[in-house]
Structure 1
Amino acid sequence: MTKITLTREITVSGEPIIELTLREPTYDEMASCGIPFTITEDGEVKMDLKSTLRYLPILAGIPPSSAKQMTPKDIMTASMSIVSFFTASAV
């Protein structure tokens, strides 16, 4: 599990939230959402934002409407944490 402190509160079920906890994805979630990165010919890891955005509300246990309230910075922080579940180290 990974904890993320948000730069701006979001509302989840009517309650203000400033911290999210992301859990590791399950097999079925991986089959549904895919691998959240590709590896280039140069060996660089390239994040697949569409995939991380699918994972975000699932792994954080929040509705998509709450995830949509997140700032771009918080979305990128969460996305990098999601990718780190699949790699030996964080991106």
Structure 2
Amino acid sequence: MGSRIRKILTVALIPLALCACTSELDKVRSQFIDNCMSSGAPKSNCKCAIDKLQDHYGEQGLVAINRQGYPPSDFAEQLFVAAGQCRNP
């Protein structure tokens, strides 16, 4: 019975361990992609756009923007540029 409990605990703890390994940047990127897709954009365009924003702001910049809860003054312009570069022809 002891090994059965260990197996159950191991299976139950795997999702928790996987969540703990997700970086803050991964969470920001995932949230951006989900929000972008919910506005009707294809996933590939959303991934491309967050890549472009990450190129501009850097990893720590994106995390800082998320922590602050509001974007910098040039964010709308950068998002517009990124969306234009990522639009499918």
TM-score normalized by structure 2? 0.29
TM-score normalized by structure 1? 0.28
- The structure that has the greater radius of gyration is 2
Higher strand proportion (structure 1 or 2): 1
